[in-house]
Amino acid sequence: MSFTAKDVQALRQATGAGMMDAKKALEANDGDMEAAKQWLREKGLAASAKRDDRENTEGVVALVIDGNVGAMVKLKSETDFVAGSDQFKAEADTLARLVIAKGEAAVAERAEQLEDLRIVLKEKIELGEVVRVEAGPGEVIDSYLHLQGGRGVNGVLVVMADATQELAHDIAVHIGFARPTYLSRDDIPADVLDKERATLETISRNEGKPEAALPKIIEGRINGFFKDVALLDQPYAKDDSRSVTKLIGSASIVRFAQVEIG
């Protein structure tokens, strides 16, 4: 499989690797982008595995809570100039309110308006993630929205049971900065965990760790992986001496969602 200079650049942006390392990775994996990312990580040349899923686009995240229902909509654009325009932000807000009222599929009702927006603003405008969260009896819903240049770029919705509004908000803020992928370590799919364990074993061997020490080293690194991706295992952002589990005590996190630009 061949690759181009654009492929090298895309791999650099996804992994933070240098140009020559990215080129070597693609050469070693016959141009396969995902295999090249894994190769760089195993060699210790990728800046962060978390970069893989990030989008290199501009846009806005609209977040609305109405009673016990919350919604987030990502509306994507090519430039931050368009993303920050009143017309663009208003459309995103309209979409979020439509999701509140009618559900996630209701965004299809705005297809014509989105096409008009593309023509008026002269950019490729697309819908990203659409999320609707509803709190049940005895549950609370709260949110966090990080603003940049007057537009939402990082939105979080969280539903908790047996919790105060203040605690739910604190958890939403934590999620905004810590970016967990799963609620608990038990939610991590077996294939994801197996792949991570195999990757950590390869990294440890490449570092020349003693064979007898490998199981303990890998287990320690797996625990570090849990703290990266599982919300309940994470150190609390405002006080890393406590985990999120310790912070919430007898309360529970029912569901959370995060939508980001960039």
Average of pLDDT values for 143-157? 96
Average of pLDDT values for 128-153? 96
Average of pLDDT values for 67-95? 95
User: What is the DSSP code string of the chain?
Assistant: ----HHHHHHHHHHH---HHHHHHHHHHTTT-HHHHHHHHHHTT--S-GGGGG----EEEEEEEEETTEEEEEEEEES-HHHHTSHHHHHHHHHHHHHHHHH-GGGGGGGHHHHHHHHHHHTS--EEEEEEEEE--TTEEEEEEEEEETTEEEEEEEEEEES--HHHHHHHHHHHHHH--SBSSGGGS-HHHHHHHHHHHHHHHHHTT--GGGHHHHHHHHHHHHHHHHBGGGSEETTEEEEEHHHHHTT-EEEEEEEEE--
Residue 18 CA from chain centroid, whole number: 24
Residue 237 CA from chain centroid, whole number: 17
Query: pLDDT category, 54, cuts 50, 70, 90?
Result: very low
Neighbours of 240 (CB within 10 A): 9
Give me the chain's average pLDDT, please.
90
Q: Are strands 235-236 and 151-161 parallel, antiparallel or unpaired?
A: unpaired
Q: What's the one-letter identity of residue 50? A: K
Given a cut of 90, whether residue 208 has pLDDT beyond it is no
Given a cut of 80, whether residue 50 has pLDDT beyond it is no
Given a cut of 90, whether residue 21 has pLDDT beyond it is no
The Cα 260–Cα 154 span in angstroms is 4
Q: Residue 94: what pLDDT?
A: 98
Q: Residue 57: what pLDDT?
A: 75
Contact between residue 68 and residue 42 where contact means Cβ atoms under 8 Å apart: no
Q: Residue 49: what pLDDT?
A: 45
Given a cut of 50, whether residue 51 has pLDDT beyond it is no
Residues of the chain above pLDDT 70, percent: 95
Do the domains at 5-53 and 58-182+249-260 have one common CATH topology? no
The Cα 65–Cα 77 span in angstroms is 24
Average of pLDDT values for 194-213? 88
Domain 58-182+249-260, CATH among 3.10.310.30, 2.60.120.620, 3.40.50.720, 3.30.479.20: 3.30.479.20
CATH code given to domain 5-53: 1.10.8.10
Q: Residue 242: what pLDDT?
A: 95
Q: Does residue 44 or residue 26 have the better pLDDT?
A: 26
Supply the pTM of this predicted model: 0.76
Delimit the domains of the chain by residue range. 5-53, 58-182+249-260
Q: Residue 56: what pLDDT?
A: 39
